[in-house]
Amino acid sequence: MAHSLVGKDLRILIVDRRAPVKGSSLASTAMIQHEIDVPLHALQKSIGIRKAQRVWQRSAGAVEQLAQIVRDLDVKCSFQRKRSLFLAGEEYGARALKAECEARNEAGICAEFLSVASLRERFQISRTAAIDSAISASANPAQLTAGILRNALIHGTEIVSGVEIKDIRTFDEGVVLSTSEGALLSARHVVFCTGYEFLEALANKSQKVISTWALASRPKLKRPEWLDRYLVWEGSDPYLYFRSTRDGRIVLGGEDEAVEGAYKNEAKRERKTKMLVEKLADLTGIAIGKPEFEWSAAFAVTPDGLPMIGSVPNMRNVFVTMGFGGNGITFSQIAAELISGEILGHHDADWDLFPIS
């Protein structure tokens, strides 16, 4: 496949090792949240108030930007604007959620604190508190990706699957990549957005790969009316998260484990699926029954919960995005804005927000 690229002078080339498989699916549960895994008031303590506010504002902006792209390109992907319900949990209780609400409102990101009583009255959920906020969304991730790639294709981008990049060398005038077939590709700039996998040359100790589990119910499942307007997650570690889909499925996930290969264990998958189903029933009364789909996957996290987006140290014109955690879609949008700006010479004021440590 790579041989068909030899000698071509392309403006943008997207290369992926995987060949598309009909009927295959993506791991992502596609909750497109402006809320990142580390609450704002906690992030402020680790990176400072102003910087933490910029991270959260950028994240909220990325969701809006993605919604705009879906609208402009008319991508058919069941994209729905959603509110978000963040429940008090073992890690962040009512007091922390109160502080979180204040921090968000100070940053201009609207959030409403719900007491135990109003949470029960509006959502029939028993927790000590919650935060109700707007600016989130959900979508079918495969259709969203395909729609955006299709548009890139129309505008001259070449997309090649089944080509694995094996190594990388930088030179004054550009970057050379070698493929598993032994072909060489040269480029002025290269962006590695390879999810949770990395070439050895790009490995970064700050990124830790863990395991996570998810499932989807059958369609038209009986569920509370409010759930179709909300994404739900909780202040626990690991946290349970769930949403509904247009065809009335419940998609939920969590039960993360800090072991890289644990997700491959079939028996564990069965146990984790059962636990997810039980947790949802305890919290909401929703009875999933036997899930129609269940899956597990690798997942990469960083100590401060922020992704790393930037230039690869000592590699001129090579950029990388990594450590996306549970917000890969929102962070990808931010990465696309920051990195494309840098390549096109429009340096973004937020370029330093997600440093490669």
Ligand X SMILES: Cc1cc2nc3c(=O)[nH]c(=O)nc-3n(C[C@H](O)[C@H](O)[C@H](O)COP(=O)(O)OP(=O)(O)OC[C@H]3O[C@@H](n4cnc5c(N)ncnc54)[C@H](O)[C@@H]3O)c2cc1C
Question: What torsion do the CA atoms of 325, 179, 7, 338 make, to the nearest 10 degrees?
Answer: 20
CB of 142 to ligand X, least distance (A): 10
**Binding residue for ligand X, selected from 174, 195, 248, 341, defined by CB under 6 A:** 195
Residues 200-219 touching ligand X, rule: CB under 6 A, are 212, 214
Residues 235-254 touching ligand X, rule: CB under 6 A, are 253
**Binding residue for ligand X, selected from 106, 121, 197, 352, defined by CB under 6 A:** 197
The one segment of 78-86, 90-98, 266-274, 323-331 that binds ligand X by CB under 6 A? 323-331
Q: Report the distance separating Cα 258 and Cα 207, nearest Å.
A: 12
CB of 57 to ligand X, least distance (A): 18
CB of 117 to ligand X, least distance (A): 30
Can residue 135 be called a binding residue for ligand X (CB under 6 A)? no
Q: How many residues in the shown chain lie near ligand X by CB under 6 A?
A: 29
Six-digit token string for 15 = 């290369």
Strands 308-311 and 250-257: unpaired
The residue with tokens 């790393």 is 308
Q: Report the distance separating Cα 42 and Cα 319, nearest Å.
A: 28
Residues 140-179 touching ligand X, rule: CB under 6 A, are 164-165
Sheet with 308-311, strands from edge to edge, namely: 190-192, 318-322, 308-311
By Cβ distance, which residue is nearest to ligand X?
A: 328
Residues 14-43 touching ligand X, rule: CB under 6 A, are 15-18, 27-32
E strands, the chain, in order: 13-16, 31-32, 80-87, 112-115, 129-138, 158-161, 165-171, 174-179, 184-187, 190-192, 208-216, 230-234, 241-244, 250-257, 293-301, 308-311, 318-322
CB of 223 to ligand X, least distance (A): 18
Binding stretches for ligand X (CB under 6 A): 15-18, 27-32, 164-165, 193-195, 197, 199, 212, 214, 253, 297, 299, 324, 326-330, 332
